[in-house]
Structure 1
Amino acid sequence: MDLLAALVLGVIQGVAEWLPISSKTQIMFASQVLLGAGPELAYSLGLFLEAASVLAALIYFRGVYLEILRGLLGDAEGRRWLKYVVVTTAVTGAVGIPLYLAAKRYLLLGASAGWLMIALGLAVILNAAILQRARAAAGLKTFGEMPLSHMALVGLAQALSVLPGVSRSGITTTTLLLLGYRPDEAFKSSFVLVPIAGLGATALAYLSEGNAVATPEAATAMAVGLVVSLATIRALLQFAKSRHVALVNIAVGALAIAGGLAKILTP
């Protein structure tokens, strides 16, 4: 991997991770084009570069993670975040592991994952008008109002991201939007879960490929991905806080559809 390829992969990771498109799929495609890597190595590299997203989330949302630590000591707000992380992770593990094993054998490895993202994107766009009316009438939900059932649904959505072509951030964000949460709350609640999934992905890639992915150039790509990630998170959260709720939902839905089409057209 040369320096230019490392820079390109870092930018892709830093942008795609936080949008409703699968970052690992984009890294796979770029690695095959730029590096001539085989599918297995390209996939592992996509997983390995998740470390950049993990660091970005830990830095940007450090206040939330401190709240979680305080939750262990009895802080009420911290307990809610702690419950959210525990419930979503438990559901993701319970559903995601069997789904991953099934996906390796059956049809979900193909274009079905792309159709799933397209369906979610269309649902979010169609729901935009409903959310706009809800905001005008009674306001949208905040994280503090999230019941246990919604936490479990987020965990279920996150489990579906084990399928190739399904964006973890995309599917969890769209799920929260469909449940009626404010866009900024949906983005934040989705992004806070990145370190758990990302650390597992990076460890899995290193264990399977070792020094083939852990190279100085990969470290450069991670550094670039970290910087770009911080800028992307900030921009997305500022956009999500705007009053144009319907526009935010349409943009998320359109990107989810684009990600699904990319999966179908480049299986």
Structure 2
Amino acid sequence: MDIGVFILLGIVQGVAEWLPISSKTQIMFVATALMGYSPALAYSLGLFLEAASVIAALLYFRNVYVSALRGLLGDRAGRRWLTYFVVTTVVTAVVGLPLYLTARAFLMGSAAAGWLMIALGLAVMINAFLLQKARRAAAGLKSFGDMTLRDMALVGIAQALSVLPGVSRSGATTSALLLLGYKPEEAFKASFALVPIAGLGAAVLSYLTEKGAVATPEAALAMAVGVVVSLATISALLRFAKSGRAALVNVVVGALAVAGGVVRLLAPG
């Protein structure tokens, strides 16, 4: 099998995971168009490669996770991070598992991915204007220290929706946090820090449902490339978030998602 395609998959994963565009769907497009995978198997491969994002997030946000562990010992800041991880994870599991099983069955031989990519792209572009309005109304008013249980639950629901192909985990959670009034840099950080929990669950679920069919040496190569590219992408996006131009990136990636969805629908098979 062409090693170059798996390197491309790693690059796609390393960039798309952190943008308001579904990495799973982009992986699906590449895997079905260039590798002949069925939509269901390509979907599972996209979930499996999220392990690359898990490793990258653990490396980049290691101080956050250490702080959360300190929360077990009574550290106040760490306790808030720990609570955030627990609440969002529980809500995501309760809402996300039924969605995953439904999505996987629905994808068999369908063009759902293309339509969902288009819907996501349009939603992200429209949301760009809502985000800009929200930032003008409440920019800088809320930091992570202001996070409530209600906000955590809403982020968990947004994250659960990302098991559907065409729905971006980072896009859904970051958008939810921005619309709740959090600073862009705080929203990006809180969204990205959730990747190890959600991504690890997705990768394990994919491995179990496909009985290891997606765990190949070539996929391991794609994963390694994805880690390196992810670290560079996270750093760039966090700097970008501090620039106050979050709406602009939504417009750009929304347009890319629409284009990707159209290409997916036109692709043979």
TM-score between both structures, scaled by the size of structure 2: 0.87
Output the CA distance in 2 between the equivalents of 1:85 and 1:35.
Answer: 36
Moved more, 19-28 or 139-148: 139-148
Q: Deviation per CA, 1:83-130: give whole Å up to 9, x if none.
A: 111111111122223334555569xx5736753563354133233044
Output the CA distance in 1 between the equivalents of 2:55 and 2:171.
Answer: 19
When residues 130 and 176 of structure 1 are mapped into structure 2, their CA distance, relative to the original with a 3 A threshold, is closer
Task: Determine the structure 2 residue equivalent to 1:148.
Answer: 149
Moved more, 139-148 or 150-159: 139-148
Contact 2:68/2:79 (8 A) holds in 1: yes
Contact 1:125/1:254 (8 A) holds in 2: no
Task: Determine the structure 2 residue equivalent to 1:132.
Answer: 136
When residues 2 and 210 of structure 1 are mapped into structure 2, their CA distance, relative to the original with a 3 A threshold, is farther
Contact 2:26/2:260 (8 A) holds in 1: no
Contact 1:125/1:250 (8 A) holds in 2: no
Describe how 1:144-223 pairs up with structure 2 within 5 A.
144-223=145-224
Moved more, 251-260 or 23-32: 251-260
When residues 120 and 3 of structure 1 are mapped into structure 2, their CA distance, relative to the original with a 3 A threshold, is closer
When residues 75 and 253 of structure 1 are mapped into structure 2, their CA distance, relative to the original with a 3 A threshold, is farther
Tell whether 2:253 aligns with 1:255: yes
Task: Determine the structure 2 residue equivalent to 1:2.
Answer: 2
Task: Name the aligned partner's letter for residue 129 of structure 2.
Answer: I
Output the CA distance in 1 between the equivalents of 2:101 and 2:117.
Answer: 15
Task: Determine the structure 1 residue equivalent to 2:122.
Answer: 118
Task: Name the aligned partner's letter for residue 214 of structure 2.
Answer: V
Describe how 1:11-90 pairs up with structure 2 within 5 A.
11-90=11-90
Contact 2:32/2:39 (8 A) holds in 1: yes
Output the CA distance in 2 between the equivalents of 1:140 and 1:200.
Answer: 33
Output the CA distance in 1 between the equivalents of 2:101 and 2:10.
Answer: 29
When residues 216 and 101 of structure 1 are mapped into structure 2, their CA distance, relative to the original with a 3 A threshold, is closer
Contact 2:48/2:204 (8 A) holds in 1: yes
How far 1:212 sits from its partner (Å)?
A: 2.8
Contact 1:69/1:78 (8 A) holds in 2: yes
Task: Determine the structure 2 residue equivalent to 1:266.
Answer: 264
Task: Name the aligned partner's letter for residue 229 of structure 1.
Answer: S
How far 1:44 sits from its partner (Å)?
A: 1.8
Identity score, percent: 61
TM-score between both structures, scaled by the size of structure 1: 0.88
Output the CA distance in 2 between the equivalents of 1:73 and 1:46.
Answer: 37
How many residues are paired up? 261
When residues 207 and 18 of structure 1 are mapped into structure 2, their CA distance, relative to the original with a 3 A threshold, is same
Describe how 1:88-99 pairs up with structure 2 within 5 A.
88-99=88-99
Contact 1:47/1:201 (8 A) holds in 2: yes
- Structure 1: gaps of 5 or more residues: none
Output the CA distance in 2 between the equivalents of 1:184 and 1:52.
Answer: 22
How far 1:19 sits from its partner (Å)?
A: 0.6
Q: Deviation per CA, 1:194-245: give whole Å up to 9, x if none.
A: 1111111111222233443221111111110000000000000011112xx2
Root-mean-square deviation (CA), in Å? 2.4
- Structure 2: gaps of 5 or more residues: none
Query: Which secondary structure state, in structure 2, belongs to the residue aligned with residue 165 of structure 1?
Result: coil
Contact 1:19/1:170 (8 A) holds in 2: yes
When residues 4 and 98 of structure 1 are mapped into structure 2, their CA distance, relative to the original with a 3 A threshold, is closer
Query: Which secondary structure state, in structure 2, belongs to the residue aligned with residue 40 of structure 1?
Result: helix
How far 1:16 sits from its partner (Å)?
A: 0.6
